[in-house]
Amino acid sequence: MLTNMSTSLHHRAIEHLGTRIVGGSLPTGHVMLAEQLEDELKVSRSVVREAVRVLQSLGLVETTKRVGIRVLPPHRWNPFDPQVIRWRLASDGRGAQLRSLAELRSAVEPVAAELAAVNAPDDLRRELLEVSLAMRDAGQAGDVPRFLELDIQFHSLLLSGSGNEMFANLVGQVAETLTGRTVHGLMPDRPRDVVLQWHLDVAKAIFTGDAAEAREASSMIMRQTISEMEPVWMEQPRVFVPVPRR
């Protein structure tokens, strides 16, 4: 066996194929043979087979006897899988992916805020309040990296505090969205005062258990976020997936 290095062969194989499929260099309908992948990746059958099985479970490929490994169309991919999202963010589909995530956030966060106001444990409410205060300080001081860190912290706490496991699972994706925004230079040097105030409003409302106010303030943040990020995906066309007939 050749030098295996840090990451496992299995992981590397998945990464290699995943990026190529999602990136588009292996187009929909493209057929590969397992043996051919062995040669290409210089790994054994077991590695290829295990990698293909994982990609199959993500909806990226299907295997058919007598045919081979076929790349499936994008609408078959599991759009909620963290790996798929990561691969898309690293590809041309980055804009469309960020739009999807931003819209998902804009849907989920106000409801999460509402739920957190009703259900969140006390220490989490307190921490949320502290973070929102720290955000104000960092924001007014123009400390962008610190602000980003706290921003992620804030929204993570909010989503976790909802007590909905699906919402809580979106923290990773939200972090991607937020960092993506700064990376794209879409953040003003100094966050707007209203945005800081809205974050404070959300934290206070959750602290006092005011669900309606929490939702409202969160909606404001989301509206602002979307309008700031819109340039990223402006030219990206929307795709309408056919609804499965029965």
Partner DNA sequence: TGACACCGATGTGTGCTGACATCAAAACTC
Partner DNA sequence: GAGTTTTGATGTCAGCACACATCGGTGTCA
For DNA, the closer CB: 73 or 231: 73
Do 78 and 58 touch, CB atoms closer than 8 A? yes
243, interface contact from DNA, its own copies, none, CB < 5-8 Å by kind: its own copies
- Asked if residues 151 and 143 have their Cβ atoms less than 8 Å apart, the reply is no
Candidates 66-74, 154-162, 167-175, 209-217; binding stretch for DNA (CB under 7 A): 66-74
Edge-to-edge strand ranges of the sheet holding 31-32:
31-32, 68-71, 61-64
Structural tokens at position 239? 């795709």
Does position 79 interact with its own copies (CB under 8 A)? The reply is yes
Residue 78 in the binding site for DNA (CB under 7 A): no
Nearest-angstrom CA–CA distance, 224 and 1: 54
CB of 15 to DNA, least distance (A): 12
Enumerate residues 147-166 that contact DNA by CB under 7 A. none
**31-39, 105-113, 139-147, 194-202 -> range binding its own copies (CB under 8 A):** 105-113
Q: Which is nearer to DNA, 55 or 205 (CB)?
A: 55
Nearer to its own copies, 156 or 225 (CB): 156
Q: CA 246, CA 242: separation in Å to the nearest integer?
A: 12
Single-letter residue type at 47: V
Between CA 212 and CA 110 the distance in angstroms is 9
Q: Which member of 115, 117, 150, 206 binds its own copies (CB under 8 A)?
A: 115
- DSSP classification of residue 213: H
Stretch (H or E) spanning 122: helix 122-141
Residues contributing to the site for its own copies (CB under 8 A): 10, 46, 49-50, 53-54, 57-58, 74-75, 78-83, 96, 99-101, 103-104, 106-108, 110-112, 115, 119-121, 124, 149, 153, 156-157, 160-169, 171, 238-244, 246
